[in-house]
Amino acid sequence: MKKSFTRFASMLWLTVAMAVCGGVASNAQEPEKRDYVYPQSQYAQGFDNYMMATYYFNGQKTYNLRGYQASYSPGTVRDIKVNPSGTSYVLLTRKSDGTAVTLYDLWKADKVMGRVKKVQNATAIAYTDDARNLVLATPAEILVCDARSLELKSSIANVITASNLIVSPNNYYIAATDGERVVVWNMESKSIRKEIKLDARVNDIAFSNDSKYFAVLADNGTITLYNTHNYLENRSYDGLGYAQSCDFNSDNKYVAVVCSDTRIVVLNLLDDSDRIFINDNLGGITDLRFVSDNHGNPFLIYNTASNVTYRRMSEIKPNFTQLLADELDDKMTDWMKQMPGESMDDYRLRVNDETRVEQMKLFEVEIATRIADDYALAQIGDVSLGSYNPESSMLSVNLGGMEPIFLEVPSEDVVDFTNVDDLEFVNVKYGLTSDDKFELIYADVRNKNTGKTYTYNNLERRSLEFLELEEEFVPLEVIQQSNIQEVVLQEIKDNVVNMAKEQNTISDHTNINVKTNVESSTNADGERIMNYIVDVSYTVEVGFSAQEDFGPGKYKVEDSGAAMSMMEIVKQALEGEFATYMQSGKRLLVKVHGMADSMPIYRGIAYDGCYGEYVGEPVYKGDILSNLTLTKAEGITQNEQLAFVRALGVKHFFANSIKGVEDMNVDYSYNIEVTSGKGGEYRRISMQLVFVDAF
């Protein structure tokens, strides 16, 4: 039996490795191949995945992509959900005497890790995206359980017998449907946020990955999107066949829908004219998922009568509007800070509601132009001349895939425009349209034949919609308050650093950074709130880390002068000038980033259990949710564990050494990084504090 477990685990790892690298071994020499097909001896009645590894069920059995049996259940499997951190999967099974919810190890065949007790009539299951909670639906209640211990944490009164259950990625909402009605609950207040009743049967529901939209798919061939800010209908699409299943892609620009057992359509939610059709004559398609490989390439997983297929979605373009908005937010945050030496009068003259909008427009053009150049999607090509209007002296110029532009050309110069190859476009600037396409908004067009230049200037065009949403703006008085407090934080930092230097804990070779920011957000009731963000980090110059930061194999926060100085800054700030944010019951997000270098750990590092023991703890590795185990018995054998335990030291200090933390609703998350470089300069930590609804 032990040998079969080992073989199963090795095959699972092989499955993940090959899927992430691009497909099965036979396809490894065919990089141009679009689809990667995994033949199955059993039909995938339902499936779920962790990254590129997929697990499915048929009858009483579950399988991995290689067709190896993962588990055998006493009852018929009704649903499978894979833990988002990749540790386990849970099955909802039914027998004549009721239902069972059973937790299985993802990497060992038939290893039961636990069962939800005293629940005989579960109808649907779901994980929260942070992998911390398992949610169950019964006809009477929605039950929220710890994802690992399966102990009940809370419950919500239910009003339907749910056949489908999901949780929004931001953990604000639980949504369920029985096919007739859709109910959305506020997860915090446990109250019903929205009820939806359609004239058609509901086949699927889904939240976008940014939790801004909620999709309802009905068997009359329509998908309706609701804005989760107010749960009012935002838009809908029809002509989608029997509309069996749907899913959003990672940046929420596309949604895929199973239209029939042989056809999938992928809708561009920003451009109604863009639809991608996928036809598979094998038939049997009932479900689908968007996933990405470790290079960020998008794939669509779907089942057929005899296969599980990974289709690379090379037609999908990035959400350029979102890329622009994210970078714009960063630039505006820096621009709105009070400059060193800038008086308050000068600051208010430079930064006000009018200048802020104008600066956003300037940044928008700058960023859009850079993105267009980076992706080479807006290069001017296939230029042709259109018609000329002698009354307005406007000559239309067609630009291939973009909208035409109009140049003001005197009538006597029109005869010089005979060869488009003579036209040279310089000082080109681009913008984005509301349907996420690039448009030319400025160019100096030089006629190389005559040497004359004609300027096209549409910089004053209507800007993108998000620039005009005043509710997205942070009030200037709040920004000014944040700026003042950042100055205070800098003063605290300087005092702590000077004291540490006097005590020879650190030197000028350690640089500690602090900054504050305010972001506009929305709570689960759809109300606009302001979050206050504090970032603290440090760097240590090469050659000085062993003395001032973590030495090789060291992990306790007390082992690092730089880390202790950083934490002392946080402590003095939160117990002093920033104590106003430490309000009892208020939500605080603490995001800790732990780093380790790539120096090999040959013999292991002893761990004394000072920060507790963790098995399958959810952690982020970059943007990917994964898990780590750290126990006293096994010690530290991997650099990822070393980065993790350093992050735990920050959490331990923060939770136990700062007044008021114990009274707040604190949510900790860990981001783990192992660098490719070797050396002490890579053994550092940083943290971000997000005070939710701070103002």
DSSP-derived secondary structure for 269-307: TT-TT-EEEEE-TT-----EEEEE-TT--EEEEEE-SSE
Residues 6+ apart with CB under 8 A from 249: 209, 255, 256, 290, 298, 313, 316
Structure tokens at 458: 């549409």
- The string of pLDDT tens digits covering residues 412-439 is 999 898 888 889 999 999 999 989 999 9
**With contact defined as beta carbons under 8 Å apart, do 651 and 573 qualify?**
no
The more confidently predicted of residues 500 and 211 is: 211
Are 653 and 505 in contact by the 8 Å Cβ rule? The answer is: no
Q: Which residue has the tokens 């349907």?
A: 435
Q: What is the pLDDT of residues 456-489, one digit of tens each?
A: 999 988 766 555 554 566 777 788 788 888 888 8
Distances (CA, A) of 607 to 171, 602, 604: 34, 15, 9
Integer Rg of the chain from CA: 28
The predicted pLDDT at position 544 comes to: 84
Please give the average per-residue pLDDT across 145-160, as a whole number.
96
pLDDT for 482: 82
DSSP codes of every residue in 366-378 = HHHHHHHHHHT-S
Average of per-residue pLDDT across 366-390: 84
Q: Decide: 430 and 315 in contact? Cβ < 8 Å.
A: no
Find all residues with CB under 8 Å of 693, minimum gap 6, and list them: 523, 529, 530, 531, 586, 587
Q: Is the pLDDT score of 152 beyond 90?
A: yes
**Arithmetic mean of pLDDT, 16-31:** 38
Give pLDDT, residue 464. Answer: 65
Q: Which of 383, 386, 366 is nearest to 374 (CA)?
A: 366
Instruction: Using DSSP bridges, classify how beta strands 69-72 and 61-64 pair: parallel, antiparallel or unpaired.
Output: antiparallel
SS3 665: strand
Q: How confident is the model at residue 9 (pLDDT cuts 50, 70, 90)?
A: very low
Give the separation between CA 217 and CA 168, rounded to whole angstroms: 16
pLDDT of residue 231 exceeding 70, the answer is yes
Using a cut of 0.85, tell me whether the model's pTM lies above it: yes
Quick check: 445 pLDDT over 50? yes
Cα atoms in the 13 Å half-sphere on the side-chain side of 430? 26
More confident position, 547 or 674: 674
How far, in Å, CA of 603 to CA of 407, rounded?
A: 72
Q: Which are the contacts of 217, defined by CB distance < 8 A and separation ≥ 6?
A: 202, 203, 204, 205, 206, 223, 240, 243, 244, 245, 246, 257
Half-sphere exposure of 523 (CA within 13 A, CB side): 14
Q: Quick one: average pLDDT of 318-342? A: 91
pLDDT of residue 465: 56
Question: Apex CA 589: angle with CA 166 and CA 675, to 5°?
Answer: 95
Contact at 8 Å (CB) between 298 and 250? Answer: yes
Structure tokens, 488: 């205070």
Locus of tokens 């090789």? 552
Chain centroid, CA 85 distance in Å: 14
Which residue(s) pair with 336 in the sheet?
Answer: none
pLDDT band, very low/low/confident/very high, at 22 (cuts 50, 70, 90): very low
Does the pLDDT of residue 694 top 70, yes or no?
yes
Do 98 and 115 form a contact (C-beta atoms < 8 A)?
Answer: no
Q: What tokens were used for 347? A: 């600051």
pLDDT surpasses 70 at 409 = yes
Distances (CA, A) of 336 to 45, 510, 513, 537, 633: 54, 28, 18, 21, 51
Tens of pLDDT, residues 506-520: 999 999 999 999 998
Confidence band of 20 (pLDDT split at 50, 70, 90): very low
First to last CA, the chain: 59
pLDDT of res. 548? 84
**Cα 557 from Cα 544, distance rounded (Å):** 17
Distance CA 144, CA 354 (A): 47
User: Which pair of structure tokens corresponds to residue 72?
Assistant: 């055998």
* CA nearest neighbour of 638 among 599, 608, 612, 686: 599
Mean pLDDT of the chain: 90
Report DSSP letters for 505-540, one per residue: SS-TTEEEEEEEEEEEEE-TTS-EEEEEEEEEEEEE
The predicted pLDDT at position 32 comes to 39
Separation between Cα atoms, residue 123 and residue 144, nearest integer Å = 14
Residues 6 or more apart in contact with residue 390 via CB below 8 angstroms? 411
Question: Which phi-psi region, left, alpha or beta, contains residue 252 (left: φ > 0; alpha: ψ -120 to 50)?
Answer: left
Give the number of C-alpha atoms closer than 13 A to the C-alpha of residue 675, restricted to the C-beta side. Answer: 14
Q: What region, left, alpha or beta, does residue 174 occupy, with left being phi > 0 and alpha being psi -120 to 50 degrees?
A: beta
Q: What domains, with CATH codes, occur in the chain?
A: 200-316 (2.130.10.10), 322-468 (no CATH), 474-691 (no CATH)
pLDDT of residue 379: 65
545 DSSP assignment: H
- CA distances to 87, 214, 622 from 22, rounded to whole Å, are 23, 31, 20
- Which pLDDT does position 660 carry in this prediction? 94
Q: Which two tokens stand for residue 325?
A: 């908005």
Task: For residue range 584-640, list pLDDT tens digits in order.
Answer: 999 999 999 999 988 889 889 999 999 999 999 999 998 899 999 999 999 999 999
Q: Return the C-alpha torsion angle 681, 684, 690, 695, nearest 10.
A: -60
Instruction: List the strands of the sheet with 453-457, edge to edge.
Output: 423-432, 438-447, 453-457
Instruction: Express each pLDDT in 237-291 by its tens digit.
Output: 999 999 999 999 999 999 999 999 999 999 999 999 999 999 999 999 999 999 9
Q: 120 versus 618: which is more confidently predicted?
A: 618
Least confident of 178-192, 312-326, 370-384, 623-637: 370-384
**How would you classify residue 110: left for phi > 0, otherwise alpha for psi between -120 and 50, otherwise beta?**
left
Higher-confidence position of 216 and 459:
216
Query: Side chain identity at 514, as an amino acid letter?
Result: V
